[in-house]
Amino acid sequence: MGAAALAAAAVLYVSTASSLQASALDTAAPSLNRSTDTSLIKSCWDWVEATFVDGRTQNVDWDSTLQAALAEAGDTADLSSILPSMLKTLGDYYTRLVPAQEASRFSMLTTGQVVHVGLGLQPGHSNAMQVVYVAMGSAAERQGVMVGDEVISVNGRSPALLSKGQLSAALRAECQLQLQRHARSVEAESGPPTEMLMTLVPEPILAHQVTYALMQGDDSDKPTGYIHISAFGHDTAADTRHAIKILKGQGAVQIVIDLRGNGGGVIRAGLDVAELVLEGGQIFCHGINRAGPEWEVSIAGDHHILSEPLAVMVNDSTASTSEILAAALQGHGRALLVGEHTFGKGRTQRVVSLPDGSTLLVSNALLTSPTHARIDKVGLDPDAVAGLFAVFYALYMCMIRFDYGEI
């Protein structure tokens, strides 16, 4: 069973940390239309009962939970206040209600377009956040923000006091930033930092999910192609195909795919990337849903364009689609994994659109590796520990295996 199995499973992956990521693969996702909140709550709960993948292994008294929640709410039954507490009883973080105001974040992943002020931050000195990325054409770039600047205030608050979610939300809305630029940021002589105060207005920008470069080391006979995939959206496979062709055209004889920090995305995009590397008929993953029995997703046809040695970089933020792809490449001996133990999310979610604009996510399937290794709540072990040396060691081992015909 190939892509049809994915559609049947209504595969949608959710990111590990702050962002929700959606798949348009299942175009027949239902829309529940009921006139009152009470009937809508009942419809949602019935849908969860019918599809929740852990439902058959958990002792859930579905009707009692519903009746108790409605009785407690009385005449003030409200979907947004009642359903989340009911879903929490299932013990699955990924089965949840997404408020209407966050729904637009689904299409952001699949189109590669985000509404943002256009800068990326990481912890810097003391309580500041350091700018590590400025998007081309963004509000941040137009106002002169540079990599190396330090953000010391976001809307009048120290960024150290903001959670990752709060900081992410602030950068997707109009915000006032106070920045410091040290002399090293502009390659000038040392001196007191320059302070800047600016208001940034978010706007649609194109977030490139695939970036690539040719790495030329000391051994000029073995130039290495580097491909970083930050998320899996509808254009990821096409962009990855383009990157592979360009790098091979530039002389790359081995490839590194970097999935570090990739929280997942559209599972079909992960399958499409796998088709660039694996041969037709090879298993991408196994899956099981509430109905059972187990099914498998295989590579349809033979469209692979990459036969060179391959290493895949992973870390503890590599999750969902990234883990499924990494497990498939590792399971078939097609790539060695380098880095850290991965996050451990191997379940898919069904998307249900609700009349008020909110979205119900229900975990409806569990996916395992081609060798039936569990991924959910377990993760993947790398073949080599993190470090640049480990990457090239992995590629060296791949080259040996190529030479001896093992791959």
For residue 111, pLDDT over 60 is answered with: no
Q: Which residue has tokens 């770039």?
A: 141
Phi, psi for residue 312 in degrees, rounded to 5: -120, 125
Residue 176 has a pLDDT of 95
Q: Mean pLDDT check: name the lowest of 60-64, 78-82, 112-116, 361-365.
A: 112-116
For residue 281, pLDDT over 90 is answered with: yes
Phi and psi based region of residue 10 (left: phi greater than 0; alpha: psi -120 to 50; beta: remaining) = left
For residue 267, pLDDT over 70 is answered with: yes
pLDDT band at 280 (very low <50, low <70, confident <90, very high): very high
Over the stretch 80-101, which tens digit does the pLDDT of each residue have? Answer: 888 999 999 999 988 998 887 7
Averaged pLDDT score across all residues of the chain: 80
Distance of CA 377 to the CA centre of its chain: 16
CB neighbours of residue 64 within 10 Å:
9
> What mean pLDDT comes out for the span 243-261?
93
Pairing outcome for strands 150-154 and 175-181: antiparallel
Kindly report, as residue ranges, where domains of CATH 3.90.226.10 are found in the chain: 1-112+207-407
Return the closest-CA partner of residue 346 out of 267, 235, 276: 267
Over the stretch 201-249, which tens digit does the pLDDT of each residue have? Answer: 988 776 678 988 888 766 556 888 999 998 888 889 999 999 999 999 9
CATH assignment of 114-206, given 1.20.1250.20, 3.40.50.12590, 3.30.479.30, 2.30.42.10?
2.30.42.10
Tokens at 185, concatenated: 């940021």
> What mean pLDDT comes out for the span 119-137?
83
To the nearest whole percent, how much of the chain has pLDDT over 70?
77
Residue 328 has a pLDDT of 97
Q: What is the DSSP string of 203-257?
A: EEEE--SEEEEEE--S-TTS-EEEEEE--B-TTHHHHHHHHHHHHHHTT-SEEEE
Residue 163 has a pLDDT of 85
Residue 121 has a pLDDT of 85
Collapsed DSSP state (helix, strand, coil) of residue 362 = strand
Task: Find out whether the peptide bond into 84 is cis, omega within 30 degrees of 0.
Answer: no
**CA dist., res. 281 & res. 328, Å (int):** 13
Homologous superfamily in CATH for domain 1-112+207-407: 2-enoyl-CoA Hydratase; Chain A, domain 1 (3.90.226.10)
Pairing outcome for strands 129-134 and 119-123: antiparallel
Residue 216 has a pLDDT of 74
Distance of CA 306 to the CA centre of its chain: 23
Over the stretch 368-402, which tens digit does the pLDDT of each residue have? Answer: 999 999 999 999 999 987 655 555 555 555 554 44
Kindly report, as residue ranges, where domains of CATH 2.30.42.10 are found in the chain: 114-206
Query: pTM here?
Result: 0.71
**CA dist., res. 404 & res. 399, Å (int):** 9
Angle among Cα 146, 152, 156 to the nearest 5 degrees reads: 120
- Report the range out of 23-32, 58-67, 108-117, 251-260 with the highest average pLDDT: 251-260
8-state DSSP, 163: -
Pairing outcome for strands 310-314 and 254-258: parallel
For residue 263, pLDDT over 70 is answered with: yes
Pairing outcome for strands 254-258 and 203-206: unpaired
CA atoms within a 13 Å half-sphere pointing along the CA-CB vector of 21: 29
pLDDT band at 190 (very low <50, low <70, confident <90, very high): low
Phi and psi based region of residue 146 (left: phi greater than 0; alpha: psi -120 to 50; beta: remaining) = beta
Q: Mean pLDDT check: name the lowest of 151-160, 320-329, 390-399.
A: 390-399
For residue 262, pLDDT over 80 is answered with: yes
